[in-house]
Amino acid sequence: MLELLLPPPVDPLWDLTEAFGADTRPERLNLVLGVYRDESGATPVMAAVREAEIRLAERSASKEYRGLSGNLAFNRAMLSMVLGPDGPDGPAERAVAVQTVAGSGALRLLADLICRTRPGTTVWISDPAYVNHRPIMEAAGLTVRTYRWLDQEGMLQDLAGARRDDVVLLQGCCHNPTGVDPAPDAWEALAEMAVRDGWVPFVDLAYHGLGDGLDADLAATRMLAQRVPEVLLAISCSKNFGLYSDRTGCAVVIGASRASLRHAETALQNAARTQYSMPPEHGAAVVTAVWEDAGLQASWRAELDAMRHRISANRTALVEQLAALGRGAEADVLARQKGMFSMLPLSPEQMLRLRGRFAVYGTTAGRVNIAGIGLDRIPCLARGIAGVLEE
């Protein structure tokens, strides 16, 4: 059987990470993967997470199986965090939530739900998109079309082609890979189009808290959930709780009414049952313990804010250094971006030269992790960018 296996495509990000591992230059910088790093280059366990883990270990709750929806208190915490305190008629009242294997698992489970509901549904993804959006949607059997992202007029024009019951995958904030989000009026226009044309917004939330602050980053998602009858949410706790390897996330389905949801949770559970049965408990228990304890939640929010401020200080320093090196136009492009990623205004050839000459590793398309570098190394990055632009 195995001789029939064709050489599979190599994951470009892991390929670059391997190349970085083999690079012996002391000044090398790995800005490829989307992982938060502190000034010392470490990806820390957040203080509130550590404290919650200690408390959980002391309580040593049983590791008995959970149900197919995972940790129910965690699901409630996710609804409360993402949709906000919204009273009895708010979207949380017409939502079901199922714990998933991180954000990727939520994307896949919801894609399965869409496919079971209407096989072959068209899902629109941004161009450029998060590298896994197309593969996950296609693996579930959906038809993928793209809409322009960086040109917001173009985005609205492309999405005018979305039909009733199509699904439009949007990133709620801190767009990966560009770092550029729609302006508030563009979000409003999207909500109006979704209501008028009958397509379903599917919001991927992976970086809330790392752009303008937790509530500000969730504002567009909350507005869509208020205005549009049906909305899907894929929530990741990987970045904002630093729980990357604990695979913690949640799939949410918001319906027009409570009654419209009667099959949604079972459909998600069935999709989970045929893939992995139940999600891992640990990360969900930690997030719940943090969310439900006022002190731990305050500590988590403060640390998340500090992470966000570090990212934004790095970006500001890069913008200033580039401007000082006579690269004002490129600096202006970067100044409009936010969140963990920046898209450098460099061609794939220039990105290769940045790697070859300056040992700076970003993706070939130009994405760099702004959280992956210490403030003291920003001048090197700026000199590298200016250097390849001058060649």
Binding site for ligand PLP (CB under 6 A): 34, 102-104, 130, 171, 176, 204, 206, 236, 238, 249
Taking residue 3's Cβ as centre, other Cβ atoms within 10 Å add up to 4
Least separation, in Å, of the C-beta of 308 and ligand PLP? 16
Residue number with CB closer to ligand PLP (100 or 269): 100
Identify whether the C-beta of residue 235 lies closer than 8 Å to the C-beta of residue 106. Answer: yes
Helix (H/G/I), strand (E/B), else coil: 143: strand
The rounded distance, in Å, linking the Cα atoms of 113 and 146 is: 21
Residue number with CB closer to ligand PLP (367 or 377): 367
Least separation, in Å, of the C-beta of 177 and ligand PLP? 8
Residue number with CB closer to ligand PLP (176 or 269): 176
Least separation, in Å, of the C-beta of 135 and ligand PLP? 12
The rounded distance, in Å, linking the Cα atoms of 191 and 182 is: 12
Least separation, in Å, of the C-beta of 128 and ligand PLP? 11
Q: What is the DSSP letter of 259?
A: G
The token pair that represents 165 in the structure block: 């019951």
Helices (H), 29-101: 47-59, 72-83
Residue number with CB closer to ligand PLP (176 or 288): 176
Least separation, in Å, of the C-beta of 103 and ligand PLP? 3
To which residue do tokens 């072959």 refer?
A: 120
Beta strand pairing status for 248-254 and 231-236?
antiparallel
The rounded distance, in Å, linking the Cα atoms of 315 and 300 is: 23
Least separation, in Å, of the C-beta of 385 and ligand PLP? 23
Identify whether the C-beta of residue 82 lies closer than 8 Å to the C-beta of residue 218. Answer: yes
φ/ψ (deg, to 5) at 92 = -60, -25
Residue number with CB closer to ligand PLP (104 or 299): 104
The token pair that represents 228 in the structure block: 């549009």
CA–CA distances in Å: residue 186 to residues 11, 74, 80, 208 = 33, 32, 25, 19
Residue number with CB closer to ligand PLP (30 or 104): 104
Least separation, in Å, of the C-beta of 199 and ligand PLP? 20
Residue number with CB closer to ligand PLP (130 or 291): 130
Least separation, in Å, of the C-beta of 27 and ligand PLP? 26
Residue number with CB closer to ligand PLP (137 or 389): 137
Residues in the chain, overall count: 391
Q: Between helices 294-324 and 47-59, what is the axis angle to 10°?
A: 150
Beta strand pairing status for 360-361 and 341-343?
unpaired
